[in-house]
Amino acid sequence: MPAYLFYPRRANGVSLTFVAETARNDVEALELAAEIAADHDCVSVFVWEPASTPDGRDRFVGEIGNPSGETRSDPSADHGASASA
């Protein structure tokens, strides 16, 4: 089974962690992403398949939003500098 990388994305666009899991195919990987989104403090989860071809490029599979549509954190809290700082 192929390995997939799941990146929970916060509202500020930052991903603080990733989850590596195997799945039979892209559809199953996106179903796993929905579970990960529900379990993490995120607005969505990006799914990538690590490079398995000689060109060495990872493949973007898709993005799944958090089913609740909200994060569990306080959006007014200062979480540090933005990526553009």
- What is the reported pLDDT for 75? 38
- What is the reported pLDDT for 52? 81
Mean pLDDT by 10 residues, the chain (85 residues): 95 93 98 93 94 89 80 40 45
- What is the reported pLDDT for 69? 58
CA end-to-end span of the chain, whole Å?
Answer: 40
Instruction: Write out the two tokens for 39.
Output: 């379990």
- Residues 42 and 66: beta-carbon distance below 8 Å: yes
Q: Is 45 exposed, middle or buried (0-12, 13-18, 19+ CB in 10 A)?
A: buried
C-alpha 27/C-alpha 54 separation (Å) is: 24
